[in-house]
Amino acid sequence: MAELTARKVIDSLEATIASGGDLERKVTGCYVSDLLSDVLAKSNEGDLWITQHTHSNIVAVASVKGLAAVVVVGGNVIPEDTLVKARAEGVTLCQSRMSAFEAAGEVYNLLKGGAG
Amino acid sequence: MQGNAQVNPDEVSEGFYSIRGGEFQDAGTCATAIKSALMKLGYSEECARRAAVSAFEAEMNVIIHAVAGTLNYMIDSDEITITVTDMGPGIEDIDRAMTEGFSTAPQWAKEKGWGSGLGLPNIKKNSDSMDIDTRKGEGTTLTVRVKLTTGGKD
């Protein structure tokens, strides 16, 4: 399987980068959840996280868990205070118009090597 | 930033934070600081992450339930102790609070994606010991210990 970078996934999700961290970082998995404690409990390092939340706690969660990037779906706009934190922590944040379902399907195919 | 692989056993590192109730945007401040302190000292990312997840949930509990609280941590050679004391309502039934999915969090916390009844169970899973001292109407002190390891991946 070809190496999947954060940049490649973000492109496939037609997402715009709101805060760029390490875009060459390898994406090794994906986690979809809007319960932050669930993400703290079960996501793995290197996961791409798909969420509806835009508030600044998503940055701290991503940073603590070592997630590869956070994709805010549903066209939700990320507020400035979240972006400021993301830049300070070097966390990659992007926003996509896709629904969580569509985004997860896309990432699933990429990770399983079924598309792209 | 990633620190070196050598851990100086004589080195003791500590930190102290005050936490304000309701200020959810501050959540994770202590957790992030603890993770980066452990990484700088050369401990493994895995134990740094366990300690940080425990701290994060503990911070969140103070923010959700209490007026105010404090978190302090002390890193010894092979263990980190995190102590969180709050001026909150106290935990009525610890057994229920330890049950996944049981939550007394208010609606605002749930709207932010918190308050799903996973906080204390998460701390239990990510720590090597956890102690709760709670008094109704006065507050709660939570003491968490996480064993520290070096090396691992990298």
Please count the CA atoms within 13 angstroms of the CA of B128 that sit on its side-chain side.
Answer: 10
Per-residue model confidence (pLDDT) at position B77: 82
Chain B environment of A63 (Cβ under 8 Å): 28, 32, 35
Average pLDDT value for residue range A11-21: 96
Per-residue model confidence (pLDDT) at position B6: 54
Encoding tokens for residue B138?
Answer: 């006065």
For B49-80, give one letter per residue: b (16+ CB within 10 A) or e: bbbbbbbbbbbbbbbbbbebbbbebebeeeeb
Among A14, A98, A26, residue whose Cα is nearest residue A68: A26
**Does residue A85 carry a pLDDT above 90?**
yes
Structural domain boundaries, residue A28 = 6-112
The ipTM, to two decimals, is 0.92
Written as tens digits, the pLDDT of chain B (154 aa) is 333 445 555 566 999 999 999 999 999 999 999 999 999 999 999 999 999 999 999 999 999 999 999 999 999 989 999 999 999 999 999 999 999 999 999 999 999 999 999 999 999 999 999 999 999 999 999 999 999 999 765 4
Spatial neighbors of B14 by CB under 8 A, at least 6 apart, are B72, B73, B74, B75
Residue A1 lies in a domain: no
- Residue A59: which CATH number? 3.40.1390.20
Per-residue model confidence (pLDDT) at position A3: 86
Can you tell me the distance from the alpha carbon of A67 to that of A90, in angstroms, rounded to the nearest whole number?
Answer: 11
Number of structural domains found in chain A: 1
Letter for the amino acid at B86?
A: D
Residue A68 lies in a domain: yes
B31, A59: Cβ pair inside 8 Å? Answer: no
Chain B environment of A59 (Cβ under 8 Å): 28
Nearest to A37 among B45, B49, B118 (CB): B118
**Does residue A1 carry a pLDDT above 70?**
no
Average pLDDT value for residue range A50-70: 98
**Could you tell me where the beta strands, DSSP code E, fall in A6-52?**
16-19, 29-32, 47-51
Which strand (E) or helix (H) includes residue B36?
A: helix B29-40
CATH fold, domain B13-147, is: Heat Shock Protein 90 (3.30.565)
Per-residue model confidence (pLDDT) at position A115: 47
Per-residue model confidence (pLDDT) at position B5: 47
Per-residue model confidence (pLDDT) at position B106: 96
Residue A13 three-state SS:
coil
Cα torsion at B114, B120, B124, B125 (round to 10°)? -20
Chain A environment of B27 (Cβ under 8 Å): 57, 60
Can you tell me the distance from the alpha carbon of B117 to that of A65, in angstroms, rounded to the nearest whole number?
Answer: 19
